[in-house]
Amino acid sequence: MNVALLGASDKPDRFAYKALKKLQAFGHRVFLVNPRLKAVDGETVWPDLSAIPETVDTVTLYVSAANSNPHQEAMLQIKPRRVIFNPGTENPGLETALLTAGIEAVHDCTLLMLDGGRFD
C-alpha cells in the first residue's frame, strides 16, 4: 500500500520517524512529505502531497491543524482512500472537507493500527 506520511521527521525519537520505520517493516511504500527536508535515511522527502508521483491510498498526519491546513487542497486532489488523524493532529475543518469529498477520516494511531493488524 502507498502511504503518504505528512510531517516526516529525521529525528529517531519522533513518532513520525517511528511510523516510517514501522510502515516499511510492514511492507508499505512510504512517501515522506515535509517542505523542510530533502531526505530521511536515504528516502526522498517530497515538498508537498501533490509532488508524489504515484497514487496514494492513505495519508497519515503527523502535523498540527495549522500545518495540515495548507495541504487540504492537495489532499482533496490526490483523493486517498483515507486520512489518519494521529493523536494531536485533529482538524475538524479538514475532516469535514475530506468527508464531503468521500475520503474516510480515521482518528487513530498509525503505530497502534499496525501493531493491532488494523492498518489495511
* pLDDT, mean over the chain: 97
Cell of 48: 508537498
Per-residue pLDDT tens digits for 45-72: 999 999 999 999 999 999 999 999 999 9
Interior angle at CA 11, CA 8 and CA 15, nearest 5: 60
Residue 97 falls in which region: left (phi positive, over 0), alpha (psi -120 to 50) or beta: alpha
| 69 within 8 A of 40, measured Cβ to Cβ | no
Going by pLDDT thresholds of 50, 70 and 90, the confidence category of residue 120 is confident
The percentage of the chain sitting over the pLDDT mark of 70, rounded to a whole number, equals 100
Domain spans of the chain, in order of start: 2-115
Per-residue pLDDT tens digits for 67-109: 999 999 999 999 999 999 999 999 999 999 999 999 999 999 9
Residue 65 falls in which region: left (phi positive, over 0), alpha (psi -120 to 50) or beta: alpha
Per-residue pLDDT tens digits for 15-44: 999 999 999 999 999 999 999 999 999 999
Rounded CA-CA distance 53/18 in Å is 24
The whole-number pLDDT of residue 87 equals 98
Fold adopted by 2-115: Rossmann fold (3.40.50)
